[in-house]
Amino acid sequence: MRLVLVGPPGAGKGTQAEFVAAHLAVPKISTGDIFRSNVRGGTPLGIEAKRYMDDGKLVPDEVTINMVRGRLAEADALDGFLLDGFPRTVPQAQELDKMLADMGTQLDVVLELVVDEDEVIRRLAGRRNCRGCDKIWHMEFDPPTREGVCDRCGGQLYQRDDDKPETILNRLREYAEKTAPLIDYYGAQNKLVGIDATGLVEDITVRAIDALRSYGG
Ligand code: AP5
Ligand code: MG
């Protein structure tokens, strides 16, 4: 299955991506994770992306599209994938449609995680990520047993640089302006399915898997 997850910052895309991709047996491709790993590695791509990420702005389309084109050509993505955080603009969506058409295929479905703004602000403000295995935690909603330490791998937890209050507001503004139009774009292609993404993480996963069933998932 070829699937895109869309939703505002903090909607739970990364959290759900892990479970849904495992269920579908497809690779999870998160553009945010790829940028952050390049930032950590100090690569030219990371140095460029960081300038935008730290302000809560989107990385330019050209840079992002080229990166995704390379990733989708890798062997593990040829039979299916779950994209988390891409596309994020209408030009990115148009390029993705073209890339897939060139490969003789197309997207099956776009899953929208619907959460209101107050909830995403609460989620982002308390988020912690693991330096070791990238697992996503929340200080209140999903805390590790020992503060600051990942239960899964023992790694150290950190707060993302872009989870500061002023940057969160910029990211929400970018979403409303540049990403929300994708809802209409994919609605017009009859590929959009929305689910309520509030409540327990495991209940949302069940809702997601149910919603994907009628698209072949
Ligand atoms: P990216 O990393 O994609 O960030 P984002 O879209 O802002 O989304 P987040 O990762 O913040 O949220 P999420 O929906 O994954 O939520 P999560 O599961 O972590 O992008 C970062 C930056 O990279 C962008 O700003 C941009 O600069 C650049 N970038 C990336 N892609 C790009 C693109 N395509 N084009 C241009 N630039 C791009 O959950 C959040 C918190 O909530 C966690 O603490 C979690 O534990 C908690 N939580 C999850 N589910 C629940 C629940 N059900 N109940 C309670 N808490 C929950
Ligand atoms: Mg994420």
pLDDT in tens, 92-123: 999 999 999 999 999 999 999 999 999 999 99
| Mean pLDDT rounded to a whole number for the chain | 97
The CB of 138 under 6 Å from ligand 1? The reply is yes
Strands 157-158 and 127-130: antiparallel
Nearest ligand (C-alpha, residue 143): 1
Give all strands of the β-sheet with 81-84 in edge-to-edge order: 28-30, 81-84, 2-6, 109-114, 192-196
195-208 per-position pLDDT tens digit: 999 999 999 999 99
**Which tens digit of pLDDT belongs to each residue from 133-147?**
999 999 999 999 999
For the CA of 129, the closest atom of ligand 1 is 44
156 in Cβ contact with 149 (< 8 Å): yes
Residue 217 confidence (pLDDT): 81
pLDDT-based confidence at 173, cuts 50/70/90?
Answer: very high
Q: Is 88 in the pocket of ligand 1 (CB under 6 A)?
A: yes
Q: What is the pTM of this model?
A: 0.96
Per-residue pLDDT, averaged over 10-39, amounts to: 97
> What atom of ligand 1 comes closest to residue 128's alpha carbon?
44
CA distances to 53, 65, 82, 92, 114 from 89, rounded to whole Å, are 16, 11, 17, 5, 18
pLDDT at 90: 98
List active site positions. 13, 88, 127, 160, 171
Compute the distance between CA of residue 124 and CA of residue 166 in angstroms, rounded to an integer. 12
